[in-house]
Structure 1
Amino acid sequence: MSEEEVIRQSQAACDALSAEDDGLKREVLTHAGNRWSLGIVHTLGSAGKLRHAEIGRRLEGVTQRMLTRSLRQLERDGLIVRFDHGEVPPRVDYELTPLGRSFLARMVPLWTWLLENADGFRAARVRFDGENRSGEA
């Protein structure tokens, strides 16, 4: 399929969305596409079922609060499932759902495209920053 056909198909899909569906799309993409949520989905996709602390260790820089918040949002949207084993001390595991695996499978081509075009993004930023600096003088 050509880029033009993809764009037309995308526009048709957007035009067919109800206001409720459009709001849902925006909400899910906003939080599911953030740094930590993508990291969680990727981590669970590659490692399988993990405990909260193990996910945190694999995501360098994430705070406990942000990890918990991201996990709850992903669970709310059905991308991950939480298993509470009802033990003392508490033991809770997280795992991708089929919906979460589907989301991850669709993100991989985007990540690949971003990496393939990283030099182009960097060059565009240098060009933009240079043009804007010279215009400020």
Structure 2
Amino acid sequence: METVELHGNVYSGDCPTRQILDRIGDKWTALVIGLLEDGQTLRFSEIKRGIGGISQKMLTQTLRSLERDGLVTRTVYAEVPPRVEYTLTPLGNTLVAPLTAIREWAENHIEAVAEAQTQYDEAE
């Protein structure tokens, strides 16, 4: 089995830290984690309804990646039709505060960003 260097140059494409930053920086990841915060357990369809604009394929890929990374637990119930629920793991819960801080920053600075975009566009 190949050993993986867990620390390295974050600016290098093969650095594991960068791979994690890519995962948590993904917009769908941030939105899924936001929906599942506070101990929420949701079904796939509830998550899809809660996130406007996400396709079924993209949500499936995002949830699989989050499960693989240990951030989300997927529970399948042997019912007809099968019921599948998702919840944050303890590790996933550690992302709630940092992602909330980023969301709040965006909410507090959206007007300044919009103004900067308008000025940039007008100068072009």
Length-normalised TM-score, structure 1:
0.75
Give the alignment partner of residue 48 of structure 1, picking from 27, 40, 46. Answer: 40
Cα distance in 2 between the residues matched to 1:103 and 1:95: 13
- Mapping of 1:89-104 within 5 angstroms? 89-104=81-96
TM-superposed CA distance for 1:29, in Å, is 2.1
TM-superposed CA distance for 1:47, in Å, is 6.4
Give the alignment partner of residue 79 of structure 1, picking from 58, 71, 82. Answer: 71
Deviations 1:101-134 (A, max 9, x none): 11111111121122211121112111211222xx
Give the alignment partner of residue 114 of structure 2, picking from 122, 126, 134. Answer: 122
Cα distance in 2 between the residues matched to 1:101 and 1:109: 14
TM-superposed CA distance for 1:44, in Å, is 0.9
Cα distance in 1 between the residues matched to 2:21 and 2:78: 32
Cα distance in 2 between the residues matched to 1:128 and 1:33: 25
- Mapping of 1:9-20 within 5 angstroms? 17-19=7-9
TM-superposed CA distance for 1:36, in Å, is 1.6
Cα distance in 2 between the residues matched to 1:119 and 1:53: 33
Cα distance in 1 between the residues matched to 2:105 and 2:84: 35
Matched length: 115
Higher mean displacement: 76-85 or 25-34: 25-34
Cα distance in 1 between the residues matched to 2:52 and 2:118: 28
- Measured on the aligned residues, the alpha-carbon RMSD in Å equals 1.9
Deviations 1:25-59 (A, max 9, x none): 22222232222211111111156111111111111
Residue segments in structure 1 that go unaligned for 5+ positions in a row: 1-16, 133-137
Greater than 6 Å deviation, 4+ residue runs: none
Residue segments in structure 2 that go unaligned for 5+ positions in a row: 1-6
Identical columns (%): 35
Which of 1 and 2 has greater Rg? 1
Contact residue 32 and residue 74 of structure 1 kept, 8 A = no
Alignment partner, residue 28 of structure 1: 20
Which one-letter code corresponds to 1:73 in the other structure? Answer: S
Q: Give 1 or 2: higher helix fraction.
A: 1
